[in-house]
Chain A
């Protein structure tokens, strides 16, 4: 990939700086089809790597025999667990996942062997000739059974990944005092990130015995740590370079082809390319945790919450991945964005022989948001209070103490968001005004006589950045020079662009801080210090802070240079428009070229957020979070009761984004997140039957198309966050939380059905509606 340059004509006010809809430097090459995705890489003489995967969810491996594949034409290497040079296992938090399985496989699709050949066909034929003798075992597939006494133990430490306990106030006392109590049990199926560009990359052996790995990722340095451990190489011998990323959404936090391709390249001495197809991609990354959740809400008759009790069970699948953090995040926000004096929250993540679960946009908060927001509607029904009104009466604000004991000290304009949502007009087109607008579209099987409209609301909150005592940071280096008479800034950071726009954000910040217009953001690789992960809605805040810090240091250096050269006091001068200017007259007193004298100034900055603490293992108490973000959503749906078909008519959202560095990009994040939440509500589920994936294809795993996705009304609030650079807040995940429960609440509003499990399928509506009608009938 090339470095991206944007040049705009010079003006006094810097163009495409912070707060503008600056265009994305990578978008030009992307619309021309010239952007190099990780699947587009090519080297002369490269081999193709393929993976042999277990067909069984749980089996003992008696023997792996590769002799049948040896010596086949075009086959250059066949590697198994014996060939892993270093640590035989990997993992983001716990290295418990075999690089290649040795004695046991714990999920269907677990890698067992890898092959490199001249052509993918040759590699495929070789895979077919490897014989693995499996002793098939009865898989543990029900997360409820995982903690039972007689359950098979999938890992030496047992089947519990983590139990998170949060104890706040006195729930027993509050329950006795509550006037109305409602309980609901909610279930979520397995969602997939379904990024459009499958896992892929290219490993190139280097002359010093190391490897250059070009790969799509979310966090290059975390990848590096795991890769070098398994390759038994010193970190300086492995360089990981970000190749073009075709979407991520959490699914690229864990390794995919990284170690396999590197091992094959090192073994053969040739570049090795690996590309998963769509089917393999479904086996090649972790999924969103399926969830079973019980929520109990108690309130006074006039609708003040007195307690919440929640029990969450997340199916972590076969390996740890990020499960212990996902369950923490789910538990932190199980009480929702409400003022709740008493809470008792128990979150469990367990191992099963289902596909491993890990990070996906929202990271646990999606699951608990669906549960708590569903039960809030149930409570509203029991109280006879309008659901939006109930939320308003209990909305948290700055100063509210979370169940974890931490007071919210940043902006929390939850009431305001709800009021704004209420003020937004409802769509004025009646249900089925035109045939194609009927649920199910053009099918024309009814005239819309069974169609009902419903409106639903949901509130979402999430922590921004890494919680729980992590000293998270990002590093950036900025260099200022004059190129062909033009002041030019170059930015180096290892922040991963997945499409969210962090390249643009870095360029915008450098423009604003240095008052110039030409900024080059260089490609990300591990020779640049760590920028942390493109996840947790953190990158604009963290790497934005690092770029800003580096630019400020450069400004100081330039001004010091000028003040020395001109013998003038520092406070008379400022750096603006690429020159040193006298503050009083705003006249240029020294052009940058003169200050720099053909040299460049370069500064690095490491940005840390404020410190947090871990939570107490028994009570869950602790100041665990950096910051919080909030959004309120409304869904309007049309439902055909006879057919069970749904059409989402409109989504509306009010979100406080702190400050939008690039408003258009922020809206893009919001709309994309809503679409994924819509998918979870209505369409998206990996069907896992007895540990096996039944629908690993886009024919059978449905993601929303433009026909499913309605227009979105967006109202951005911009309340600067006091702790962040420019007042920004995280925006990557929030809209994905509340869109799901808003839609399901709208379905419940339209149908009167309880619809506890998502995604809601047509038969869930049509059969239940018929049952209700029959029960109510003559």
Chain B
């Protein structure tokens, strides 16, 4: 079975990727799964300057889900290039570097700096982190989304993925903006803005007040987003949200995603990603497919 997928200018050996912020810098996972088998690895989002991140609690469990407010804790781009990239480029799979900025210039300078490096297969623009102020507008306004993608594309030689937030009225409009700006693919979805409260203390449970929800509970929202965007926009989609087994993967492919990213499930089932790669051929065969592309967007009208 041919598992390779094409996302604009980006080719992956299989459609099972791991989502930014849920796989550390991949080094942490090296003793746990064979990271070279994974279709694409996204290290945790990096910013221009180091960020200490938010005060604890940073995560809280909710029904079939997790809230987080990590706050883009990272050591900054220079430390990433010096300490993490040399290792990452040796692990034997496509490295997609996730970047976040406050302004369009931030995104452009980060993406051009990272995009010039050897061993970077693509850049993912995190246009959607709910846990930092600023930066959010790119994910909620189709015109600024188009502009930032276009500016990055002009400055950066590698494929560009735009990761979008579901916290908008019409995600298809934003995705169209990304497509118009020249994105190779859109990644749907980042976390859903949410909250948990300790009523006895009359306080939010997360140190940062609100946070982003992930995990199985958001899968139906993510599938809806993928479906809406697939129906309206012509560039490839990477589906993200609550995936924890092969059925979930297939649902995203049928809905219109050409690849998927595994997120929160890496935390509670660390060996999941490579098991999914093992299970994918049989699931595709059930639909008489001979490639991943054969099933992408094959959803029938009910």
Q: Do A and B bind each other?
A: no
